[in-house]
Amino acid sequence: MWPIGVPQIRNEHGSAKRNAFAHDEAGNLVYLGMVGHKTVLESIRATIQARHRKKLFLQGRPVFPLPMHYSQTWQHLPDYGTYHAALIADPALPGKWQPGEEVIYLLVFEGELLDGSTPETQARRVLTSRLSETLPIPILDEWHESLWEAGQRENLIVGLETGGDCQEGYQVQLTESVWKEVITRLLKERKTQNCTSDHRTLTS
């Protein structure tokens, strides 16, 4: 067992130190970083990969594996006799989204803020590329600000609870009809701007 006050993730077999996480308001687990003995980490990993509900607790609060695959990385920490394991739901990774999944996740980590930008700014930057993976609609990179504002206004983009090296996270609903309406509006505005610009060129 870990000392009182140490952030923990546990299942019915044991507990590990939780050093990073991201989950939604309902407790659906998107990302988890943990440190502990390998057998305990493997047990918690198995609970997540088997999608066992009501068997996983983060600081005493139940959290729930998503009904999708989790990618994982492991690192041995020989100086401490422990391991570090990280599990992240595939829709939070570029290129890992699968047809039929209704959400993607935008996670921002410490190492991605080298230019001094804020976590939200970084999330805005990657929104267009992530949406391009999932929607059969042409999306321009220059629309990332407009898409972000529209997504939040339509409640398609909502924040996640995060901690550790995960600075900020967002869940993006892939409601195609709403995104199509937003993008169609942006295309019309762009066409109108181009026509206005052409008219000014002709009359100058």
Task: Give one DSSP letter per residue of 77-121, joined into a string.
Answer: ETTTTEEEEEEEEGGGSTT---TT--EEEEEEEGGG-TTS--HHH
Which CA distances in Å does 59 have to 19, 80, 143, 179, 181?
11, 23, 39, 36, 41
Which CA distances in Å does 111 have to 48, 51, 71, 94?
26, 30, 19, 16
Tell me whether residue 185 is in a domain: yes
Number of domains in the chain: 2
In which residue are the tokens 């295309």 written? 187
Given a cut of 90, whether residue 189 has pLDDT beyond it is no
Shared-domain flag, residues 118 and 183:
yes
Q: Give pLDDT tens digits for 70-116.
A: 999 999 999 888 999 999 999 999 999 999 999 999 999 988 887 77
Q: Give pLDDT tens digits for 6-64.
A: 789 999 989 999 999 999 999 999 999 999 999 999 999 999 999 887 789 998 899 99
Note down the domain range covering 51. Answer: 1-91
Mean pLDDT across the stretch 154-180? 94
Shared-domain flag, residues 120 and 148:
yes
Tell me whether residue 50 is in a domain: yes
Tell me whether residue 174 is in a domain: yes
Given a cut of 70, whether residue 131 has pLDDT beyond it is yes
Structure confidence at residue 83 (pLDDT): 96
Of 60, 91, 122, which residue sits at a domain end? 91
Of 46, 61, 91, which residue sits at a domain end? 91
Shared-domain flag, residues 76 and 105:
no
Q: How does 138-177 read in b/e, with b if 16+ C-beta sit within 10 Å?
A: ebeeebbebbbebbeeeebbeebbbbbbbbbbbbbbbbee
Tell me whether residue 200 is in a domain: no
The pair of three-digit structure tokens given for residue 51, joined into one six-digit string: 């999608």
Shared-domain flag, residues 61 and 98:
no
Given a cut of 60, whether residue 4 has pLDDT beyond it is no
Tell me whether residue 125 is in a domain: yes
Is 160 in contact with 169 (CB distance < 8 Å)? yes
The pair of three-digit structure tokens given for residue 192, joined into one six-digit string: 């109108």
The angle subtended at Cα 109 by Cα 107 and Cα 112, nearest 5°, is 110
Shared-domain flag, residues 7 and 63:
yes
Structure confidence at residue 56 (pLDDT): 93
Of 91, 107, 126, which residue sits at a domain end? 91
Tell me whether residue 105 is in a domain: yes
Is 175 in contact with 157 (CB distance < 8 Å)? no
Structure confidence at residue 187 (pLDDT): 82
Q: Could you give the CA distance from residue 92 to residue 116 in angstroms, rounded to a whole number?
A: 23
Structure confidence at residue 59 (pLDDT): 86
Shared-domain flag, residues 78 and 100:
no
Shared-domain flag, residues 40 and 115:
no
Shared-domain flag, residues 23 and 43:
yes
Q: Specify the length of the chain in residues.
A: 204
Q: Could you give the CA distance from residue 31 to residue 92 in angstroms, rounded to a whole number?
A: 8
